[in-house]
Amino acid sequence: MSSNKDEVKIYNENHMENCNVFQGDIYGATFPLPGANVTINQYYGKGQKPKTEVEEGNVEPAEARERRKLEATREITRRFDFNDEMLGYDNRGRRITSDRVAVLFSKCLGIGSYPSRPYRLMIEQVWVLLIDTRKQCTKRPGEDYFRQTVLNIVGYFVSEGIICGAKLDIAQCIFADADANLARNIERNIESAVFPEGLAEMLDLYIEKLRNGEF
């Protein structure tokens, strides 16, 4: 802006030279640059602000993470094999099938859907619980996801009447070797404090689309 009181000029030029400009994602106040050794663990509880901890580790490039999300989604949903009597009909009278539940599951994770920014942030929190880290849970060999989180989400579908049946039977329609202890995660659904507040509202959005026959 000019110092001349009779003349005001605004300059929209960028005079930054020899400056480091970060163009990637930021997490909290952490900027993971190529080759940096950091891991970002974010913890979200209902009614709580995000808590970020920084630990040594490897940065996962965005493209690699997206590939891992797609692969995990395919590996999970290909297991969906619900019995016909477990599934009902949508509002148009069309039967809800395992394939349609698989599409529902995928859309709830941002695969094949276009959620708003607040929902995108929420979905990323769910991905952390699904493929990154979850206390007191371990991944099965060869599986890059936590079965408990899968069944928590499916459990919410059960609570909304999309899937019906005994919890163990439902769990075994996804994981054939599931036992009663693992099946309890269906009953727990997304009520645990580890899930972000407002998640039910987002899941309801896609459940309603399924009920209306949109997919």
Query: Which pTM does this prediction carry?
Result: 0.75
Q: Which percentage of the chain shows pLDDT scores above 70?
A: 73
pLDDT of residue 211: 98
Report how far apart the first and last C-alpha atoms of the chain are (Å, whole number). Answer: 55
136 vs 201, more confident: 201
3-state DSSP percent of the chain in helix, strand and coil, to 5: 40, 5, 50
pLDDT tens string 139-192: 999 999 999 999 999 999 999 999 999 999 999 999 999 999 999 999 999 999
Looking at the predicted structure, is the pLDDT value of residue 194 above 60? yes
* Residue 80 CB-half CA count within 13 A: 23
pLDDT averaged over the chain? 83
Nearest CA-CA partner of 79 in 147, 165, 159? 147
DSSP 104-131: HHHHHTTSS----HHHHHHHHHHHIIII
> Residue 8: its pLDDT value, please?
46
The domains of the chain are located at 62-211
